Structure 1
Amino acid sequence: MPRPKREEQFANSEICIVHAVQRCVRRAFLAGVDRESGKDYSFRKEWIRRRMEALASVFGIDVLSYAVMSNHLHVILRNRPDVVASWSDGEVAIRWLRVFPGRRMEEHLAEPTEHEVKTLAGNAERIAEIRQRMSDISWFMRSLAEPISRMANKQDECTGRFWEGRFKAQRIVDEAGLLACSMYVDLNPVRAAMASDPEKAPHTSAFDRIQAGHGKQIDSAAFDLKAVPTEEAAKQIRETPVDELRAKQKAKKRNPTGKRIRRDAWLAPLTLSPEKLSTDAELNRDGLRASDKGFLHVSIRDYLRLLRWTAKQGIAEASEKLPKSLATTLSQIGIDASMWRDLVWEWQRYFGKSICVGSPAAMRQDAERCGKHHYSGQAAASACFT
C-alpha cells in the first residue's frame, strides 16, 4: 500500500510532532563502516548532526530527539508555526537566504547582504510562501538531506542517490507515544549492539544531553543571522582574491557565530515548564533553536534514569524490576509499566508499519480526523497502554 500524502499526516499551519526516518540507498553503510569495502564513513554522522544543528537555528521547527545510525537516521521534530508568525519579514528573509542563497555568479562567496534581505522582505507574496515553508517539516528534511547527499557524492566522486527516497513519517499524537518514541530513538545504537549504554552512543540526543550535564561544550553550528552591509560586501568582492574569500567562507562554516555552547543547547529542552501556559511560544533569544519549550512532563533526571534502566533490558530473561518511582511516572502518562520494556525494545512489532504513534484512544481519535476507522498497530499497541 502506498504511503499517505504528507498533508494527510501533518500541515505546516498547525503544531504537530513527527518521527521521521531517512534511509541511505540500498541501506548501504554510507555513514558508517561499509561491510563490502571496509571503508569507514563514520565521520559523516557529524556532518548530519551539524547540519541538523544549523537548521534548528533558522527553521521554526524544534528538534526533540535524534539518532544518526550507519545507514539511516531518526529525528523527532515539532513544527512551530506560532514561532514563525512572530518573526518580522526581515527575519524570515535572512533565515531563508542562509539556507537557500539562490543562484549567483562567482561573487556568491560573499555573505547575504542587507540589500538582498531588504529586497526579499519587500516581496510580500514571496515572503508569505517562505514563511509557510519555515515551519514545514518536509522542507526541513529536504534541507537536511540534499546537502549531505551532494557532499558524499563529491567525496566519492560519483553521482546518483545517497538517500533511499522520501523520508518515512509517523505522527505522534500524545505524550505516552512521544515518551516511548523518544526512548526508542535514543536507544537505537544500543538496540543495534553499537553501544553498551547511552553514554557510549554519540550522535544521539541522549548522548548530547548527558554530555551537557557534565559541562561539555562544542563549537556552535548555528547560522549567523546578521546580514553583511552591502558596501562592505562589495568592497570584499573588489579587493579580496577569490581563493581568499573561499578560505574565509570555509573557516566561517566551522563556527559561523564564533560561539561555544552546551552540547545540547540546539535541542529542545526535554522538560515542559510548569510555569508556562501551553499556548506560550517560549521563543529562543540566542539564535540556537526555534523555542525554549519542552516536550515531556518528565524531568531530565527521571528520563535518563528510565533510559539507562531500559538500555539494560535487552535480554528479557535478565530484566530487572522497574523502580517504583519510574513505574509511577509511566502510569501517570498512560503506559502500562509492566509492558514498558516490550514497547521500546519491540517497537517495530507495534509501530513499525504505522503512520501514527500513541495510545489506542489517541490513535483512534486521529484516525477519525483523517476519515479512517483505525491505524495499523492500534490493536497490538493496546496491551502497552492503560
Structure 2
Amino acid sequence: MPRPKRDEQFETGEICIVHAVQRCVRRAFLAGVDAQTGKDYSFRKEWIRRRMEALASVFGIDVLSYAVMSNHLHVILRNRPDVVASWTDAEVAIRWLRVFPGRRMEEHLAEPTEHEVKVLTGNADRIAEIRQRMSDISWFMRSLAEPISRLANKQDECTGRFWEGRFKAQRIVDEAGLLACSMYVELNPVRAAIESDPEKAMHTSAFDRIQGSQGKRINSAAFDLKPIPTEEAARRIRETPVEELREQQRAKKRNPTGKRIRRDAWLAPLTLSPSKLAADAEVNRDGLRASDKGFLHVSIRDYLRLLRWTAKQSVDGIAANVPDSLASTLTQLGIDASMWRDLVWQWQRYFGKSICVGSPESMRKDAQRFGKHHHRGQASASACFA
C-alpha cells in the first residue's frame, strides 16, 4: 500500500504533532559502526543533533522528542503556524536566509546582509510562501536531511543517497498516544541493547533533559538572527583575506551566537503550564526554539520516573505492575496500566504500520476527517486502552 499524501496527515495551517522516521539507505550503519569495514561513524549523530538544534531556532516547529540511531532517526515535531504568524516579514526573511542562503559570489562570507533581507521582504508573494514553509514539517525534515547527506558524501568521497527517501510520518492525535510515542522514541537505544538505561543513551531527548536537569551546558548551535549591515559586509570582503574570512565562518558555525546553554534548552519544555491558555503561542524570545509551550500534563520528575521504570521492563514474559504513583498518570489518559509495558516495548505491533497514533476513539475521529471508518492499527491498539 502506498504511503498517504502529506496533506492527508498534516497541514501547514493547523497545529499538529507528527512522529517522523528517516532511515539511511539499505539500513546501512552510516551513523554508527559499520560491521563490514569496522569504521566508526558515530560522530555523525552529533552532526544530526546539532542540525536539529539549529533548525529549532529558526523554524516555527517545536522539537518534542528525538533519538538518533546508527541507521535511522526518530523525531516528534509540533508545527506552530501561530508562532510564525507573530513574526515580522523581516524576521521571516532572516530565518529563511539562514537556512537557505542561496548562491553568493562571496561564498566564504555566507551570511545574509541587511540589503538581502530588505530585498526579500519587498516581495510580498515570496514572503507569504516562505512564511507558510517555516511551519511546514516537510520543509523542516528536508532542511535536516539534505545538509547531512552532503557532509557525509563529501567525507566518504562519493555521491548518491544517504537517506532512503521521504520520511515516514505518523500523526499523533491525543496525549495518550504522545506519551507512549515519546517513550518509545527515547527508549530506542535501550531496546536496541546499545545502552542499559536512558541516562547513558546519548543523542536522545531523554539524555538531554536529564543532563539539563543536572545543569550541564553546551555550545549553542542556534542561528544568529541578526543580519550583517551591508557596509560592514563590504568592508570585510575588501579588507580581510579570503582564508581568514573562511576561518571566521568555520568558527561561527561551531557556535553562531557565542552562547552556552542548558543541554535541553533547544527542546520544547515537557510540561504544559496550567496557568497558560490553550491558545497562547508562548513564543520563545531567546532565539533557541519556536515556543516555550509544553506538550504533556506530566511533570518532568514523573515523566523520567516512568521512563526509567519502563526501561527496566525489557524482558518479555516477565510481568511487573506499574507503581501506583505512576499508574494514576496512565489511568487519567485512558491507558490500561497493565498494558503499558507492552504498548511501549511492542510499539511496532500496535502502531508500526499506522499513519495515526492515539487511543482508538481519537484514531476513529481522525479517520472521519477523511471519510474513513478507521485507521490501520486502531483495533489492535484497543487492547492497551481502558
Q: TM-score, normalised by structure 2?
A: 0.99
Unpaired segments ≥5 residues, structure 1: none
Q: Name the CA distance, whole Å, in 1 between partners of 2:320 and 2:48.
A: 36
Give, as a single letter, the amino acid of the residue that structure 2 aligns with 1:369.
Answer: R
The 5 A counterparts of 1:216-365 are 216-365=216-365
Q: Which amino acid aligns with 1:71?
A: N
Q: Deviations over 1:71-111 (max 9, x none)?
A: 00000000000000000000000000000001111355242
Verify the 8 A CA contact 1:110 1:245 in the aligned structure 2.
Answer: no
After TM superposition, which residue ranges in structure 1, 4 or more long, deviate above 2 angstroms?
316-321
The one-character-per-residue Cα deviations of 1:203-259 (angstroms, maximum 9, x if unpaired) are 000000000111100000000000000000000011111111111000000000000
- Report whether the alignment pairs 1:11 with 2:11: yes
Q: Given that residues 350 and 377 in structure 1 are in contact (C-alpha distance below 8 angstroms), is that contact kept between their aligned partners in structure 2? A: yes
Q: Does 1:21 align with 2:15?
A: no
SS at match of 1:316: coil
Task: Provide the secondary structure at the position in 2 that maps to 1:222.
Answer: coil
Letter in structure 1 aligned against 2:60: G
Amino acid at match of 2:285: R
> Structure 1 residue 173: deviation in Å?
0.2
1:366-381 equivalences under 5 Å are 366-381=366-381
Q: Write the distance in 2 (CA, Å) between the matches of 1:107 and 1:372.
A: 51
| Counterpart in the other structure of 1:140 | 140
| Separation in structure 1 between the aligned mates of residue 205 and residue 52 of structure 2, nearest angstrom | 12
SS of match in other structure, 2:374: coil
Counterpart contact for 2:77–2:137, Cα < 8 Å: yes
Indicate the residue corresponding to 2:76 in structure 1: 76
% identical equivalent positions = 85
Alignment of 1:57-96 (within 5 A): 57-96=57-96
Aligned match of 1:31? 31
Measure, in 1, the Cα distance between the counterparts of 2:282 and 2:52.
Answer: 21
Structure 2 residues without counterparts, runs of 5 or longer: none
Residue matched to 2:191: 191
Equivalent residues in 2 for 1:142-157, closer than 5 Å: 142-157=142-157
Q: Is the 8 A contact 2:104 2:110 kept in 1?
A: no
Could you say what secondary structure the match of 2:274 adopts?
A: coil
Query: Is the alpha carbon distance of 1:245 and 1:385 closer, same or farther for their aligned partners in structure 2, counting shifts above 3 Å?
Result: same
Per-residue deviation at 1:320? 2.9
Contact kept? 1:62, 1:290, Cα under 8 Å: yes
Q: Indicate conservation of the 8 Å contact 2:67/2:73, yes or no.
A: yes
Q: TM-score w.r.t. structure 1 length?
A: 0.99
Task: Give the C-alpha shift of residue 306 in structure 1.
Answer: 0.2
Residue 166 of structure 1: CA displacement?
0.3
8 Å CA contact 2:108, 2:245 repeated in 1: no
8 Å CA contact 2:108–2:242 kept in 1: the answer is no
Secondary structure, aligned partner of 1:10: coil
Distance in 2, Cα, partners of 1:312 & 1:211: 20
Secondary structure, aligned partner of 1:302:
helix
Rounded Cα–Cα distance in structure 1 between residues aligned with 2:18 and 2:360: 17
Whole-Å separation in 2 of the counterparts to 1:344 and 1:351: 10
Q: Give, in whole Å, the separation in 1 of the partners of 2:32 and 2:229.
A: 42
Q: 2 CA distance for matches of 1:319 and 1:94?
A: 54
Please name the residue that 1:106 is paired with. 106
Distance in 2 (CA, whole Å) between partners of 1:109 and 1:25 is 33
Report how many residues are paired: 386
- Structure 1 match to 2:51: 51
Distance 1:318 1:39 in 2: 37
Q: CA deviation at 1:117?
A: 0.6
Question: Cα gap change, 1:110/1:341 in structure 2, threshold over 3 Å: closer, same or farther?
Answer: closer
**Residues 143-182 of structure 1 correspond to what in structure 2 (within 5 A)?**
143-182=143-182
User: Aligned partners of 2:188, 2:275: CA distance in 1, in Å?
Assistant: 33
